[in-house]
Chain A
């Protein structure tokens, strides 16, 4: 496989090409880089779409149900005219009209909601287009950082912070607060040891959960079973198992057996295999499972965007020099927290030298080549020229204090 994903060398091989090409690649390179970064924004576009699809499905099923009911009611009325009176039939027909009027209202509301969601999808696409506006690019990038943070806050259930940040950053249309409100209800109820909203959610999304072979419903049922055992309601538990656990038995025999065995123990059992099933942490596990399913259904990434980008960024920035005392404070990896997070991550790789002047912090390349002092320390030409100018041709090494003359410096050729 061709692994030639290489970076351009640091001012070496093509001196003729370098000066002329400097201006152009910076802007075309920037555009290319922006285009690449847009490709990462699948979640931005997919989530409101899934939300729209859900509303459309809901409205369709509503209409389908009502139509079916009305049509069969008419057929029934037509067939049973002999046995019922005219008045009864008229009443029945009138009630159908009322029903249809109710449906009309609901569909109008549904239509409005669909329109809002369509608008949201559109706003996201427009936002992606707006990256081409060079004047507002910094704002766009700030908005991106805020979007990433709001995604993290919502996934961690810090709803108030998410709301505040969305308002402060004026990115309400670009984040999925409304989608997570649905999740909030279920999560809060699970934290209160109530599986009912979660089960309702599973029923609402039955088809799609089945498609992804989700076991969430099964796990919720298992937990309810355990709660019955905890409350010593053994008969209830057995009936519950017959009704709700048995259908899952074929594919989840081991799991089911393990849980059903808790009947033989009490909730304060010391037997470790079964004790763990009674721990409150089981509820935390359910919350996590639900969050995962929820995010998957809406086309969100498995991990928070913050973690994904942070991991990538730390790897890209990580060099052995970052962990030294002399690490520049401008490097995020000079900070303790970032260092800790980056520990298990791989180091970045360089195929070509990239040198930074200790004095000016600028790149030492073709335009600004490195100069070597007699003591072996290296600084950029521009920085040293400036120093010599202000000090009668004398150079003082900022790191050792040794003094020499500008004309004692030697050029180094780094490729």
Chain B
């Protein structure tokens, strides 16, 4: 993308526009001046009835105006400007893809679903006013229900921002079973942070009783962490000089807020990042390939609209990889329930259909396409990714 080229072409437009605008205004002043001169001349002619003189003044005026012909000048300015504008338009049409809706399929997106998705996105980003404004303009009152869980989440996040962990701790303890099942030690981390807060801003005594109350009951699970916290007690007041100074870092608050958000969303059955933002990002990634594909297939419009699977892959980065896709290297087909991947004794993996094809009679051993080792069908086992 030659942004410099585009910039240059536009600078020329800007120059020409300024020139055209100022010259036009100059023309106006010139005409005005000539007429005012004529008026003055007429007024200064003492003899009011001296027709030939007056006639001469007006004839002069008319000729003068014809001479420097403002109309022609105006037209020339406009023509020039239009040419420069036209060149700029051409440059943009060349540098950009002028019609990105070419690859669009004629399927209707249900506007209600789209509106729900947008409303949910706004609420998830914490933009509650905007979300409310949107659902009222879009006339989707039921979407207001989407707000509730995110209101709770942002409420907790807000209190965490103010260094108050009470709400977060309440949430973590009421969801402790779910958190444990999902391998998250959020509750512990919150307690740790709270402990350090108490130690810094309150008394050693209170910090100690905090550990006793919240962490001791589950001591066996926190074999590593509790001694560390106890160690902090020794340095109370000078924690920043202790070996545990990093516990004071404000990073912990940010990281914990993120982790909390992650667990909260996960508990709701939602993704951490807004699904709309992921889908759009995938679209931006994938659209150039789709447009290329469409232009190649341009003649077969029907095929484009009706296809059930793209004929070419779209290369998305690993951020968009949510599933394991197995493609048999022999038949180049994607794995499915009916055609699962099979592991051969040599360690290579082929689809079931490939193996059946290679073995022909399904009892005799066959050679792996990638190494000299032979295997029989019975020796191959199904893989689950």
A interface with B by C-beta (< 8 Å): 1, 3, 5-8, 33, 35-43, 45-46, 49, 52-53, 56, 59-60, 63-64, 67-68, 70-71, 74-75, 77-78, 81-82, 86, 89-90, 93-94, 96-97, 100-101, 103-104, 107-108, 110-111, 114-115, 118, 121-122, 125, 128-129, 141, 144-145, 148-149, 152-153, 156, 158-161, 164-165, 168, 301-303, 306-317, 319-322, 327-332, 334-335, 337-338, 340-341, 344-356, 358, 363-364, 370, 372, 376-378, 399, 410-415
Contact = CB atoms under 8 A, between A and B. Distances in A.
Contact of B313 (A6, A96, A317): A6
Contacts, number: 381
Interface of B is mostly: helix
Interface centre among B61, B100, B286 (most CB of A within 10 A): B100
B149 to A, nearest CB: 14
Interface in B318-366: 318, 320-327, 329, 332, 334, 336, 343, 347-349
Interface in B274-302: 275-290, 292-293, 296
Given A158-B137, A345-B105, A410-B343, A358 B28 contact: no
Given A164-B129, A376-B381, A310 B283 contact: yes
Contacts of A56: 17, 20, 81, 85
Given A332-B279, A346-B309, A347-B308, A63 B28 contact: yes
Given A52-B17, A331-B271, 17 more contacts: A35-B1, A40-B287, A70-B31, A97-B39, A100-B32, A125-B10, A148-B280, A307-B109, A309-B284, A314-B282, A321-B325, A332-B271, A350-B334, A353-B327, A377-B384, A414-B326, A414-B349
B113 interface: yes
A276 to B, nearest CB: 20
Contact of B286 (A59, A64, A145, A312): A312
B204 interface: no
10 contacts: A3-B312, A90-B42, A96-B35, A111-B22, A125-B6, A161-B133, A331-B271, A332-B276, A358-B324, A412-B349
A89 B42 contact: yes
Given A40-B287, A114-B21, A307-B104, A314 B279 contact: yes
Interface in B29-82: 29, 31-32, 35-36, 38-39, 42-43, 48-49, 51, 54-55, 58-59, 61-62, 65, 70-71, 74, 78, 81
Nearest to B310: A349
Contact of A378 (B133, B282, B285, B385): B385
Contacts of A161: 130, 133-134, 137-138
A86 B57 CA distance: 12
A81 B113 CA distance: 75
Interface stretch (B88-96, B194-202, B205-213, B229-237): B88-96
A222 to B, nearest CB: 26
Contacts of A314: 279, 282-283
B216 interface: no
Contacts of B145: none
A163 B369 CA distance: 62
B98 A310 contact: no
A115 B290 CA distance: 38
Given A107-B25, A108-B25, A312 B103 contact: yes
Contacts of A67: 27, 31, 70-71, 74
A313 B97 CA distance: 18
Nearest to A300: B101
A210 B27 CA distance: 32
B378 interface: no
